[in-house]
Amino acid sequence: PAGLAPGSPFGPNLRAFVLYLRFAQAIPFERLARLMSDLLGLEISEGALANLLEASGGAFAHQRSLIRDRLLSGTILQSDETSARVGKKTWWTWVFHNGDSACFLIRPSRGKAVVGEFLGAVRPDFWVSDRLAAQMGWARTAHQACLAHLLRDVQYAIDAGDISFAPGIKNLLKHAIAISHRRDRLADTTLTVYAARLEAKLDRLLQIEPANRQGQKLLQIIKKYRQNLFVFVTNRAVPPTNNGSEQALRPCVIFRKITNCFRSQWGAKLYADVRSVFETARRRAIPILQAIRLTLDEQPLPVAA
């Protein structure tokens, strides 16, 4: 019939509503079937709901590919990962994002192969992440290590009793982050001076002997990643932390806790594609239901002029 998807008894509004309830509100299939009955008077089995979602996979995969193309056309990438359950196995939910675009992958690995799969031949100028080895070494110009993660390591050393080395590093990193909040009001020459002062201060701190084993461990971390600490100071678009990645992954963590796991690999892939659309829509100030309808209609998500 006119207005219905080929081979489907469900119209676009109902399909969008089911997708919204399942993925935006994390409603399990059993409750979703009950909601359809209680709210709309529709008796739809869990299997029919699963078929409806699976049939939407192609549209969301296409939308995600458009988002990926825009994301990889930029100069900066930020990334992170968190665990996921697919069947009875631990997989990993990855996010790659910057600006108005975000892409998610769910894979059985947290290794470099996943990053290589996503990037293809593209290498961004700058990369922001934690210090996981799989996410290091991809930037053409420089990699910014997450200072929020590093500050946690610093605090751990302080709590363990290092009162000689770690406190100075903590003050230095917090001062650097404070500079990032004022970059829009500072001249390039001023930022260059700040960067030089931060490096000089770090040189002096590296001469201090830590008070205990945790302090020694922190010292080795700082020495290993010192070239990745202050990239953001003179590169205004680069953030000092990877907090944006953690924020993007938070709905995935909530979804995992509510639904426990994905029963199938196609379900995991669909969720990653849908999450790519939802997070990108949020960044572009597009209502979720509108983003779903645009995707089902095979229309790209608009970008602000």
Residue 251 pLDDT level (bands cut at 50, 70, 90): very high
Residue 159 pLDDT level (bands cut at 50, 70, 90): very high
- According to DSSP, the β-strands at 126-129 and 76-86 are parallel
- Quick one: pLDDT at residue 150? 98
In 114-265, beta strands by DSSP E: 126-129, 142-145
Look at residue 2 and tell me whether its pLDDT is greater than 90: no
User: Which one, of 188, 198, 201, lies nearest residue 236 by Cα?
Assistant: 188
User: Over the chain, what is the mean pLDDT?
Assistant: 94
How many whole angstroms separate alpha carbon 30 and alpha carbon 34?
6
Residue 147 pLDDT level (bands cut at 50, 70, 90): very high
The pTM is what? 0.93
User: pLDDT tens across 190-214, in order?
Assistant: 999 999 999 999 999 999 999 899 9
Q: Backbone phi, then psi, for 63, in 5-degree steps?
A: -60, -40
- Quick one: pLDDT at residue 304? 84
What single-letter amino acid sits at 115? V
User: pLDDT tens across 8-45, in order?
Assistant: 567 888 999 999 999 999 999 899 999 999 988 989 99
Tokens matching residue 103: 């892409």
Q: If you classify domain 56-144+242-305 with CATH, what class do you get?
A: alpha beta
Look at residue 7 and tell me whether its pLDDT is greater than 80: no
- Quick one: pLDDT at residue 5? 53
Look at residue 1 and tell me whether its pLDDT is greater than 50: no
- Quick one: pLDDT at residue 89? 94
Number of C-beta neighbours around residue 192 at 10 A: 13
Query: Of 101-115, 177-191, 259-273, which gets the smallest average pLDDT?
Result: 259-273
Residue 263 pLDDT level (bands cut at 50, 70, 90): confident
Residue 157 pLDDT level (bands cut at 50, 70, 90): very high
